[in-house]
Structure 1
Amino acid sequence: MNGTAGTTPQDSAYDAAATERWAAEPDKRPGRTAFQRDRARVLHSSALRRLAGKTQVVTPGTRSPAWDASPRTRLTHSLECAQVGRELGAALGCDPDLVEAACLSHDMGHPPFGHNGEQALNEFAEDCGGFEGNAQSLRLLTRIEPKRFVPDPATGDLVSVGLNLTRAALDAATKYPWPRGAHPTDPHSPKFGVYEDDLPVFTWARRGAPAGRTCFEAQVMDWSDDVAYSVHDFEDGLHAGHVDPNLLLAEPERADIWRVAVGRYVPADTDPQELADALDRLVDQEWWPHGYDGTALAQARLKDATSQLIGRFCLAAEGATRQAYGSGRLTRYGARLVVPRETRNECAVLKAVADRYVMQRAEQEALRADQRVVIAELADALVRRAPDGLDPQFRALFDAAPDDRARKRVVVDQIASLTDAAARALHARLAAPRRTR
């Protein structure tokens, strides 16, 4: 299938190839740009709404005395990422709707229980191509999310083309533009952006793109993602009482933070002194939330600190990129986003603080172990009992699948679509009774 760009007004920085869709279709509301349509489709998708029930740091629907009633979810993170990305992209000359669409959709493929669920599903799917949240996002955008159906040229049957986004939008949402095992510098990397049976639309979306290189809009999305979750996870940890600002001044605690950061959030050869300098730069700022005690005044200061951090990280990237490329519009493959090493280190330190004090708590590890059991047992139950347990959408795909490998991929798609609560409920119905026998 090769679509056409349509008749909507077109930004001169994006050519007809960038606004082309996999399946040609008319615009129902003339006057909108192609990227405004892309943003609207993502925003109104059921896959985006389901992110409200998927783990970011704290499992949705759970509370502790320290947490308020509204911890961040994958949805709120995506909305915050989109706000950061839209403004940064616009400042550098990108189409803001295009960047926002990419930011909104970048986490749509995440399964229940966040990265923990992702690892469990990857183990289950090892013999049918593995599982990766970013590859699943592409699959949702181009196949699973029910929006547009077209006749299959070979059979005449109606087949889904997902949201049928533009080439530029799919490319902008792609963090890892390679299939499993094809990382350009690390063949053992678990990160990839497309499953084998989605290669046709991936190849179409990447037409004309340099191999292994992300487009400029995807780089803006990726940095906005880093900024949003590093700052907001730190904010949530502080607000919950898991992070004590005073401990960040103690050398033994700081050494723990460096151990978490090196190799995970910064390259393995990073000198811990660089991270110490990065944290010191942040702590020395007048707006740093010293002595946070949860009062209304302290909460207001913390909100100001998050705004200051986001502005600091984005302005550093904007300034360095402008210094490298000048004042013109930067789009697609005309530039690379430049983020100073010092800024990346500051962002990494915040990630490591949240990791050390929030994600590594003992009760969190116990919860993650239980979540892995739920995913493994649910997957086993669905394989044994399918199509029982599958939603109508996936039941039809299961019945039409040509072989066991394809049927297993349908089971993976079903599990990945579930919210945390829905996964537990389906597990209770299909798998929990087996435990009692």
Structure 2
Amino acid sequence: MEDREIDYMAVFRDGPSPAALIDGDLVVVAANDAFLASAGRRAEEVVGRFLLDLFPDDPTDPDSHSARALRCSLERALKSGERDVVALLKYNLEVPGRPGEFAERYWSEVAAPVFGPDGKPKYVIHQVEEVTAFLQRLRQARRVAGTRTRAELEAMESHIYARSRELQEFNERLQQAHERQRRIAASLQEAVERQRRFVSDVSHDLRSPLTGLQLRLEEALSDPDADAKEVLHSVLRDAQRLNDLVCDLLELAHLDARKSSPFETVDLGVQLEEELKRHAFEHQVLSCSGPGVTVNASRIRLSRLLANLLTNADRHCTRQVQVLVEARDSEAVLEVVDDGNGVPESERERIFERFYRAEEARRKDPGGTGLGLSIAREIAEAHGGRLYVDEGPSGGARFVLRLPLAQPLSGTTADS
């Protein structure tokens, strides 16, 4: 038998069930003859129109929710990539050519996704089955039947509609349960990935200082004339680097685990001045703080964030670092500006990656961990803020921290 290519458009157009092809904006792309006949409209009145403009809810019926149910079904199919079914619903459809006049119709609907070349849902086939005629015949039979038969037919009609509504409500609960399970699975996958990345990070960066320690100790033991004081100083430097690295890794582990820490109202300008007094910087640091710029934050985490930004700026500047704190609209803004070589635009996101160290950073601080800026950004995000880098006025780097201004506290905690 000769193979023939299936004409899917012909199958769609001549199908016995009313069907329409809907795009991601819920606009009708195509409709078959059965759909046009059921809607009582011509193709040019349907194609290119927003579906719910064609089938709006009856404004005279406060219990009419068919348009909302239809929209939810189509959006679920587009989002999940799975078929979605709406059980029997009553639609009060506007009669074509009679604005404001609605006729009672009963439809069930199936939304089937159509995938694009990228494998994601691009369209949805909206297929309906109308049972209005069946229910109308039931009512007609009820009018001519005896009293007992009429009551039985009324009960049958009510039973059909009630069971359909129960089926639809059950279907919606299943959809919600499926969405919850999907979110839980995604969270578990993310947790596993975080754990895997953390183990990889630890093994990657602990190896170097440990190897250095071992080599220096082996050399000292094999050389009886080795200067003990010089060896101890060298070992102390490696031990200090190990300590810094372990502290950074523990901080990241706390952030990854979303461990809670109490929030309190912190004056960002005051906190900055405390950090400037706490650390000895190689270059001059000038600060300008507006009064009363307060945020809800973990003081310990905020201190770590500021210290990392200031240390980074001091490492890369030439003569001077400038720090500004002020309130802008609903945000507290801190800017740390250095007069160094700046950060190339291609690296302005990469420098926040864990263990990433640009060439200049490796040259100026060979013993660095490459975790300081990553920790700073994650702390900012844990507080509902943002941290990014831009070009400074003199060509250096300008790090900008934006945090929500303080709101009344009610036992809030920080994920840190």
TM-score (normalizing by structure 1): 0.19
Bigger proportion of residues as strand: 2
Higher relative contact order (CA 8 A, sep 6+): 1
Bigger proportion of residues as helix: 1
Could you say which structure has the larger radius of gyration? Answer: 2
TM-score (normalizing by structure 2): 0.20
